[in-house]
């Protein structure tokens, strides 16, 4: 099963990077699959560590999908890394193996520590819709514009029905980003 998380990694200078990533979940082993061009991949390769943060705040997924935000975070307990303050719980990961076959790596890790801060509030359709919209926003170069607009319209209906203020804010951020982006998949360029 894939669980959507905010992965925190640090570079050789100690700068923290925050990125939404789906990870293959296991109690003891977690597999992370960053594309080779991501900062997450470079940092994990350099440090051999990462932290998987689980949070119900979808605004963080939205913002980190389209920019490089800094969020409040503290030091991890066991690995060289950082724990997101907004995490409900987290897993600290030590790399066991890296398969860097392009375009996407496969990094097998061992869970060496975990912690919890607060309750993860239950499922919500609007939160799921925001996550799907965040994914869309990272695939503008692959999906035809008409398909993106049609997906957006469906997702917005779900948000309108079930969102709280944080989900509305996240959806607005993503919609503005997508509508103002000039990125197009190759086949629809110039049309
Ligand atoms: C919910 C969600 C899941 C994602 N999962 C992955 C993933 O597994 N691997 C990946 O390379 N990018 C994934 N992305 C896209 C990255 O978050 C995006 O490319 C980000 O800019 C990478 O950040 P970084 O360069 O700071 O590491 C996902 C995005 C979202 C919104």
- Domains belonging to the chain, first-starting first, are 2-116 (2.30.110.10), 125-183 (1.20.58.290)
Q: Which residue has the tokens 């699959």?
A: 33
Closest Cα to residue 131, out of 151, 145, 104, 146?
A: 151
116 C-alpha to center of ligand 1: Å?
Answer: 23
CA of 16 to the centre of ligand 1 (A): 15
pLDDT bin (cut points 50, 70, 90) of residue 184 is: confident
Ligand 1 pocket, residues with Cβ under 6 angstroms: 4, 17, 19-22, 33-35, 38-40, 61, 65, 68, 131, 134-135, 138
Name the residue among 141, 136, 109, 88 with its Cα closest to residue 44.
Answer: 109
pLDDT at residue 188 is higher than 70 = no
**Residues 56, 61: Cα–Cα separation, whole Å:** 9
Residues 6+ apart with CB under 8 A from 85: 71, 72, 73, 74
Element (H, E) at 2: strand 2-10
Q: Answer yes or no: are the C-beta atoms of 11 and 43 closer than 8 Å.
A: yes
pTM: 0.95
- Write the residue with the smallest CA distance to atom 23 of ligand 1: 19
Q: Kindly tell me if the per-residue pLDDT of 147 is higher than 70.
A: yes
Concatenate the DSSP letters of all residues of 12-70 into one string: TT--EEEEEEEEE--SSEEEE--BTTSHHHHHHHHHSEEEEEE-S-HHHHHHHHHS---
First to last CA, the chain: 39
Closest atom of ligand 1 to CA, residue 104: 11
**pLDDT value at position 8?**
98
Cα 183 from Cα 191, distance rounded (Å): 13
Pocket residue to mutate for ligand 1, from 138, 177, 178, 183, most atoms within 8 A of Cβ: 138
Question: Can you give the pLDDT at residue 86?
Answer: 97
pLDDT at site 185: 83
Percent of the chain with pLDDT over 70: 97
State in Å: Cα 179 to ligand 1 middle: 20
- Closest by CA to 86, choosing from 65, 70, 102, 99, is 70
How many whole angstroms from 135 Cα to the centroid of ligand 1?
A: 8
The tens digit of pLDDT for each residue in 24-78 reads 999 999 999 999 999 999 999 999 999 999 999 999 999 999 999 999 999 999 9
pLDDT, residue 191, reads: 46
Average pLDDT over residues 155-177: 98
Tell me what pLDDT residue 186 has: 78
Average pLDDT for 1-27 = 97
């Amino acid at each position: 099963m894939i669980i959507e998380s905010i992965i925190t990694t640090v570079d050789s200078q100690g700068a923290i990077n925050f990125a939404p990533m789906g990870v293959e979940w296991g109690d003891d082993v977690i597999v992370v699959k960053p594309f080779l061009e991501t900062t997450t991949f470079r940092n994990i390769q350099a440090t051999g560590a990462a932290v998987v943060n689980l949070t119900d705040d979808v605004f963080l997924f939205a913002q980190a999908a389209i920019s490089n935000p800094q969020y409040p975070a503290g030091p991890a307990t066991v690995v060289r890394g950082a724990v997101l303050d907004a995490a409900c719980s987290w897993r600290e990961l030590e790399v066991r193996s890296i398969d860097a076959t392009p375009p996407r790596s496969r990094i097998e890790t061992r869970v060496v520590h975990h912690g919890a801060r607060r309750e993860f509030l239950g499922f919500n359709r609007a939160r799921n819709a925001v996550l799907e919209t965040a994914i869309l926003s990272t695939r503008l170069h692959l999906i035809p514009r008409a398909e993106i607009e049609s997906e957006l319209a469906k997702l917005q209906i779900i948000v309108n029905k079930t969102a709280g203020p944080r989900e509305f804010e996240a959806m607005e951020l993503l919609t503005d980003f997508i509508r103002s982006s000039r990125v197009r998949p190759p086949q629809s360029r110039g049309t």
